[in-house]
Amino acid sequence: MQMVVEHIVKAFHADFARIWLIQPGDRCSLDCIHAQYKSGPHVCRHKELCLHLSASAGRYTHLDGKVHQRVPFGCYKIGRVASGKDEKFITDTVTKDLRVHDQKWAKELDLIGFAGYKLHSKDNQPLGVMALFTQHVISPEEDQFFETIAKTVAEVVQISYAEEALRASEERFRALVESTSDWIWEVNAKGVLTYCSPNVKELIGYNAEEMVGRRPFSIMAPDEAERNLKIFQRHVKEKSPIHNLESHSIHKRGHQVILETSGMPILDSKGNILGYRGIDRDITNRRHADETIRKSLEEKEILLKEIHHRVKNNLQIIISLLNLQSYRIEDKAAKQAFENSRQRVYSMALVHEKLYRSNNFANIQFNDYVKTMTTEIVRASVDISKVRLEIKVEAVELSIDLAIPFGLIINELITNSIKYAFPDERKGKIQILFKSVKDQYELTVIDDGIGLPDDVYFQKKGSLGMQLIHILTEQIGGSIEISREGGTRFTIQIDKPINRK
**192 HSE (CA, 13 A, CB side):** 6
Separation of alpha carbons 205 and 335, rounded Å: 79
Instruction: Give CA–CA dist 105/94, Å, rounded.
Output: 10
What integer pLDDT is reported at residue 148 of this predicted model?
92
pLDDT tens per residue across span 251-309: 999 999 999 999 999 999 999 999 999 999 999 999 989 888 888 777 777 767 777 67
- Strands 387-393, 428-437: pairing is parallel
Angle at 249 between CA 244 and CA 254, to 5 degrees: 155
Measured between alpha carbons, how far is 116 from 367 in angstroms, rounded to an integer?
A: 91
CATH number of 2-172: 3.30.450.40
Give the span between the Cα atoms of 18 and 9, in whole angstroms: 10
Q: What is the CATH number of domain 290-499?
A: 3.30.565.10
Among candidates 23, 67, 71, which has minimal Cα distance to 45?
Answer: 71
3-state secondary structure of 477: coil
Residues 323, 325, 327: CA angle, nearest 5 degrees: 75
Task: Tell me which fold the domain 179-282 belongs to.
Answer: Beta-Lactamase (3.30.450)
- Looking only at the bridges linking them, the beta strands covering 397-399 and 193-196 are unpaired
| Identity of the amino acid at 226 | E
Task: Please classify residue 181 by burial: count the beta carbons closer than 10 Å to its beta carbon, then call 0-12 exposed, 13-18 middle and 19+ buried.
Answer: exposed
Q: Where are the domains of the chain?
A: 2-172, 179-282, 290-499
Q: Nearest to residue 154, comparing CAs of 143, 166, 162?
A: 162
pTM: 0.46
Q: How far apart are CA 219 and CA 231, in angstroms?
A: 16
Per-residue confidence (pLDDT) for residue 501, from 0 to 100: 46
Same fold, 2-172 and 179-282: yes
Chain centroid to Cα 18, Å, comes to 53
What span, in angstroms and rounded, lies between the C-alpha atoms of 372 and 391?
Answer: 11
Nearest residue to 410 via CA among 375, 460, 383, 437: 375
Q: What is the dihedral of CA 237, 239, 242, 246, to 10 degrees?
A: 10
How far apart CA 234 and CA 283 sit, in angstroms, is: 24
Residue whose C-alpha is closest to residue 452's, from 477, 472, 474, 481: 481
- Strand 440-447, strand 428-437: pairing: antiparallel
Beta carbons of 480 and 467 less than 8 angstroms apart: no
Query: How far is it, in rounded angstroms, from Cα 424 to Cα 415?
Result: 16
16, 87, 91, 149, 215 from 8: Cα distances, Å: 8, 19, 17, 9, 58
Q: Give, in degrees to the nearest 5, the angle at Cα 294 between 288 and 296.
A: 105
Q: Between 366-381 and 400-416, two packed helices, what is the crossing angle to 10 degrees?
A: 30
Residue ranges in 180-283 assigned as alpha helix (H): 200-204, 208-211, 222-238
Q: What is the DSSP letter of 218?
A: G
Residue among 215, 219, 210, 286 nearest 248 (CA): 219
pLDDT confidence of residue 361? 65
| Helices 464-475, 332-356: inter-axial angle, 10-degree rounding | 30
* pLDDT < 50: residue spans in the chain: 460, 501
C-beta separation of 284 from 251 below 8 A:
no
Closest CA to 131 of 113, 106, 105: 113
The helix/strand/coil state of 105 is helix
Half-sphere exposure of residue 64, counting CA atoms within 13 Å on the CB side? 6
